[in-house]
Amino acid sequence: MLHTLKPCEIQTGGFCFENTRRNAVLESSLSESGYKAPGARKTGTTIAGIVFKDGVILGADTRATDDMVVADKNCMKIHYIAPNIYCCGAGVAADADVTTQIMSSNVELHMLNTGRPALVTMVTRQLKQMLFRYQGQIGASLIVGGVDVTGPQLYSVYPHGSYDKLPFLTMGSGAAAAVSVFEDRFKPNMELEEAKQLVREAITAGIFCDLGSGSNVDLCIITEAGVEMLRGYDKPAMKGKREGQYRYKPGTTAVLTKTVTPFPLVVVDESVQIMDPE
Amino acid sequence: MCRNVNGTQPDIQVYPTESGRNGITMNTRGLRSQLKDSVPVAGLCPQGAYGVQDSLRSGFTSVKNELLPSHPLELSEKNFMLNQDKMNFSSLRNIQGLHAPLKLQMEYRAARQIQRLPFLQSSNLALDTLRGNDESIGFEDILNDPTQSEMMGEPHMMVEYKLGLM
């Protein structure tokens, strides 16, 4: 039936819920025949952040999974938000990407408006207000870290909109493995090298102990002086190189006896099939 | 102050006030009452002349389709701007007095009337500036951009609808 009044209503942008009923019907009919509807690609991640003496270090693994299959072996989970603020994203990959891009644009507009460099609390506040507005339907868990005029700060924002401010944080499916390393060895006001090693070990714990995380370790070091992105800082899951040859030389085993038995074959039928050269 | 005679809902509701301990009057009803009537209950007030379901224009009725929202966010997203405005105006009224939201609403109504022809998408520049939407980017700017929609709409029908001839 033609809905002739629909185009007369004012069209707004944003999310469109027209197809939800149709999708629900499709999913139920698919599950009846035994198929599964395609799902969103999650990152199945380990992300971690730590506050050290001069700033903040963010770390992440680089594997993106699609339900038990590795979709991307080297994806980038540390996103740029402002020159002094970076954000790691876990959860649904597309949601984390688009959310951080929207945040980055909003921060740039805000900086142009106020004429001041961005604060980490401002990013966290905008993030949590947006995520709460969508009631967790946007599945992005983020760790926001940066150095601004008030010092180095680290916040974690959950998909439903809650946030935490802590000296060390982990998120993602490998969070339990990574946070155990932090709980064991974290000290306040660590030096740069020590902090880098600690984050590397936490992410490596996530890579080895969690099926959803893997490949390399990425680090991002934010200090007042600037930002250093270390992509592929450590590759713990790389295949080891074989040190020696394990094949036996011909002639290693001595031949003791040799018996030859001829096997008579009778030609029963002979047919020729011409193959098409093309 | 002139009353709105077109039958649309007044944007500022009168709530009972009570005097507090120091003689300060406060609105006791709070936000709950305003949020309640912003949820639309479709199907009980069908559009069309005489209040009867207009099958030619809006299709057949299906009570199930209209009473239950298909997505948990559908209703809250439809009313988001409305609820935000009501919240802001109510707190503005409490802080600065009745004149502040009245003046702002007058400006909003004036800005809302600056539109192109009915089937053309207008930029809503004045409305965006008043609301502060020109300084932020959200999903309404990225997804489902009305300027790039695939449906055009019929100009004759839309003009007739706007002029009330339909």
A14 at the B interface (CB within 8 A)? yes
Contacts of B141 in chain A (CB under 8 A): 13
**Under-70 pLDDT residues of chain B:** 1-69, 166
Q: How far apart are CA A61 and CA A76, in angstroms?
A: 8
Specify the pLDDT at position B166: 60
Q: What angle do CA B89, B90, B91 make, to 5 degrees?
A: 95
B87's CB contacts (< 8 A; 6+ apart) are: B31, B34
For this structure, is A223 an active site residue? no
> For the whole prediction, is pTM greater than 0.80?
no
Note whether A125 and A137 are within 8 A (CB): no
Q: Does A6 score more than 70 pLDDT?
A: no
Q: How far apart are CA B76 and CA A137, in angstroms?
A: 13
pLDDT confidence tier of residue A5, bands split at 50, 70 and 90: low
Mean pLDDT of chain A: 88
pLDDT above 90: percentage of residues in chain A = 57
Chain B segment 43-82 residues within 8 A of A by beta carbon are 47, 54-60, 65, 69-74, 76-77, 80
User: How far apart, in Å, are the Cα atoms of A83 and each of A123, A229, B151, B154?
Assistant: 13, 12, 41, 48
pLDDT in tens, A200-242: 999 999 999 988 888 889 999 999 999 999 998 888 877 778 8
Specify the pLDDT at position B97: 93
Specify the pLDDT at position B19: 42
Specify the pLDDT at position A18: 76
Residue-wise over A155-190: b if at least 16 C-beta within 10 A, else e? bbbbbebebeeebbbbbbbbbebbbebbeeebeeeb
Q: Does A19 score more than 60 pLDDT?
A: yes
- Predicted-complex ipTM score: 0.70
pLDDT in tens, A128-178: 999 999 998 898 999 999 999 999 999 999 999 999 999 999 999 999 999
Contacts of A4 in chain B (CB under 8 A): 56-58, 157
Specify the pLDDT at position B7: 42
Specify the pLDDT at position B48: 53
A113 at the B interface (CB within 8 A)? yes
Interface test with A, best of B70, B154, B158, B165 (most A CBs within 10 A): B70
pLDDT in tens, B83-110: 999 999 999 999 999 999 999 999 999 9
Answer yes or no: do B74 and A17 touch at CB < 8 A: yes
Kindly name the residue from A45, A46, A99, A124 that is annotated as catalytic: A45
DSSP for A62-102, please give it: --EEETTEEEESS---EEEEETTEEEEEEEBHHHHHHHHHH
Contacts of A17 in chain B (CB under 8 A): 69-71, 73-74, 77
